[in-house]
Structure 1
Amino acid sequence: MTQDDMPRTVRGLLRALDRASLATLLPGEPAGWPYASLVLVAVDHDLSPILLMSDMAEHTKAIKADGRVSLLFDGTGGLDQPLTGPRVTVLGRVERTGDERLKARFLARHPDAALYAGFKDFGFYRIALERAHLVGGFGKIRWIDVAELAPPQAEGLVEAEAGIIDHMNADHADAIQLYAAKLLGRAGDGWKMTGIDPEGIDLRRGGEVARLGFDAPLQAAGEARKILVNMVARARSMP
């Protein structure tokens, strides 16, 4: 992994994982202590993590007093030697959001959360990132500023995303299954697309998530159809 690869590695980790460890500072007893908790995460097109949290949770009480947080995304699962694998800690400031698009992106990533997302004591939150600390394995360690993390943008893709996902899941479930089985080596039926951004697509099957990256970033939403069709052809050509 070169220095130039590191921002892309961070983006890939954030998008590939659907949960993270959230660290906050407790405002009450024991005041001032760091508090780590497990949260479900979706990631927006600009790389901002999106959370759904209960007002009664200790971490929610903490961020109301101090919005500075960090999230650890651990990509070492399944490795015989976890310390050789990648993990990234991102730092940012969190604020509650009423943005319906962010809510929809989170619920597409975590469909079961729809059961409680509408409860009055739950709210959606967006984290504005400031820095990231990547440990890509032994000796592959670097702080990365948010400007360097900025993902590529594809004109019109944010607005077109929901329609693309609905169309693929409704009319091309077989293609999604091919992506998972042939291109990613994932077992089982019933994979769904949950997101698309300039660098790849997100898939889910029950409690499993998967990330399929594109060979090159999309420049505009209109390119999505061509690349999705090309990936089907590639998958069908594989033994």
Structure 2
Amino acid sequence: MSVKAGKHARELLLKEYQGGLSTHSKTMPGFPFGSVVPYCLDALGRPLILISRIAQHTHNLQKDAKCSLLVGERGADDVQAAGRLTLLAEARQLTEAGEIDAAAERYYRYFPQASNYHRTHDFDFWYLEPVRARFIGGFGAIHWVDALTLANPFAGEPERSMIEHMNSDHANAIAHYVALSGLPAEPAAQLVGIDSEGFHLRIGQTVHWLAFPTSCNNQGAVRQALVLLARAEVWPSGAPVEA
């Protein structure tokens, strides 16, 4: 596997926010069971999902934690030519109060419409621990990926502080990022996440990930990247844009 393939696979996982979850059927042993789940990435770069205790896929995971998550490029005209990723993983439910609170704080920034599901409708947070991934970047670009995840160096208070600052004081800059990347101008975008490779904007109920021009491993580098983008007339070369 090339480093480039691993980066492209991770970018696809960052961009899409929903996928097809396949579990081992408890009711029909031997058959795979498919469902659709929204997700965001947790502090360690693993898909974080919120699922109902009465859902079939939850019963399946309680019996057998092995699963897969299929993620493909949204809106692709030719799905066989588009990028897609099959993540083989083991699902783990979060049970510690501190972990659950951190997961809720992150997840509800991305999906505020799901707020309080785990309290009022018996939903629980689970994460998918990657085992291996199969990435197809188009015809002939096929790779096994063994090191997919990348921990978020800003997870927790640093990320929360940067997000609050941008949303409170730099709405014009956020609007410029939206215009620069060709995303919908309405409703107004909110910054909901920052990682070392880019940032996440929520527009209505849809989330988009935009790449930094270069990787940012400290808050100073993030600040410089956001200022550069706020002043740019075109998206800097080398930074792929989710449209």
When normalised by structure 2's length, the TM-score is: 0.88
Output one character per residue of 1:81-129: Cα deviation in whole Å (capped at 9) or x when no partner. 2211100010111111141222211111111110524225110111111
Identity of aligned residues (%): 31
Residue identity in the other structure for 2:135: L
Shift in CA distance, 215/116, structure 1 to aligned 2, threshold 3 Å: same
1:1-239 residue pairs with structure 2 within 5 A? 3-28=2-27, 30-75=28-73, 77-97=74-94, 98=96, 99=99, 100-119=101-120, 121-146=122-147, 149-151=148-150, 154=153, 156=154, 158-182=156-180, 184-189=181-186, 190-235=188-233
Contact 2:51 2:124 in 1 (8 A): yes
Name the CA distance, whole Å, in 2 between partners of 1:55 and 1:207: 24
Output one character per residue of 1:205-227: Cα deviation in whole Å (capped at 9) or x when no partner. 11322111012111212322222
Displacement after TM superposition at 1:4 (Å): 2.9
Contact 1:152 1:217 in 2 (8 A): no
Name the CA distance, whole Å, in 1 between partners of 2:235 and 2:11: 26
Residue identity in the other structure for 1:103: A
Residue identity in the other structure for 1:213: A
State the secondary structure of the residue aligned to 2:3. coil
When normalised by structure 1's length, the TM-score is: 0.89
Contact 2:111 2:205 in 1 (8 A): no
Name the CA distance, whole Å, in 2 between partners of 1:91 and 1:68: 8
My pick for the range that moved more, 212-221 or 195-204, is: 212-221
State the secondary structure of the residue aligned to 1:15. helix
Superposition CA RMSD, Å: 2.1
* Number of residue pairs the alignment of both structures matches: 231
My pick for the range that moved more, 122-131 or 108-117, is: 108-117
Contact 2:45 2:152 in 1 (8 A): no
Displacement after TM superposition at 1:53 (Å): 0.4
Name the CA distance, whole Å, in 2 between partners of 1:174 and 1:108: 20
Q: Which runs of 5+ in 2 are unaligned?
A: 237-243
Q: Which runs of 5+ in 1 are unaligned?
A: none
